[in-house]
A and B are shown apart, each in its own frame.
Chain A
Amino acid sequence: ETGVTQTPRHLVMGMTNKKSLKCEQHLGHNAMYWYKQSAKKPLELMFVYNFKEQTENNSVPSRFSPECPNSSHLFLHLHTLQPEDSALYLCASSQVTARRGSYNEQFFGPGTRLTVL
């Protein structure tokens, strides 16, 4: 559980606020991910950083802005969110052993429960 940490664990924000979610991994991995988990829906992959380069952006609205300053830290900057953005946001990391990816398992943080009023 302490391999991937996320702060804050809970966040309530208004639609006009700007906030950031933070993720840190202590596993020496080189790939990090943001997922959105909503009730009754599959986990949605939002962003992937592989070797600090963003390799995937699943048509995520621009009100979500990721930042990966190094291989251990990942941020998700939030601004002008909508109530439907309320969800559990999960960060994960994995070790990618080749440039074109690998099938090593991902390790998840506990998530940030976001509520947008």
Chain B
Amino acid sequence: AQSVAQPEDQVNVAEGNPLTVKCTYSVSGNPYLFWYVQYPNRGLQFLLKYITGDNLVKGSYGFEAEFNKSQTSFHLKKPSALVSDSALYFCAVRDTLMNTGFQKLVFGTGTRLLVSP
């Protein structure tokens, strides 16, 4: 089964500094990777995805993620953090159900990002 790991429960960064939220994956075959963000009392919002192509994927709100096959990583980055970026971030990977072939997302445990003024 496909899986992702988010090694940090929380990341703290000062406003204006670059931020990185880490994600590593374990898949058989080509990975299809996603990042979602969850603001307080809200559902998850899609940020970006990697399917094929350029290793650097650009997404919403100025976020980008770098796919690194040799390190099996898909870290989320932003050059300059905002206080409003404070939220819970989830990495996810597509998986395929053996019995039906239907595809679903498998999520990591989430990383809380706190951006201080």
Contact = CB atoms under 8 A, between A and B. Distances in A.
A46 to B, nearest CB: 11
A105 B94 contact: no
Q: For the side of the interface on B, what is the size category? A: 20 to 34
B22 interface: no
Interface in A67-117: 90, 92, 96, 99-103, 105-111
A61 interface: no
Given A43-B90, A108-B44, A101 B109 contact: no
Given A103-B32, A105-B34, A110-B42, A48 B104 contact: yes
A45 interface: yes
Given A4-B43, A105-B34, A109-B43, A56 B100 contact: yes
8 contacts: A50-B102, A55-B100, A56-B100, A56-B102, A96-B102, A101-B96, A102-B103, A105-B49
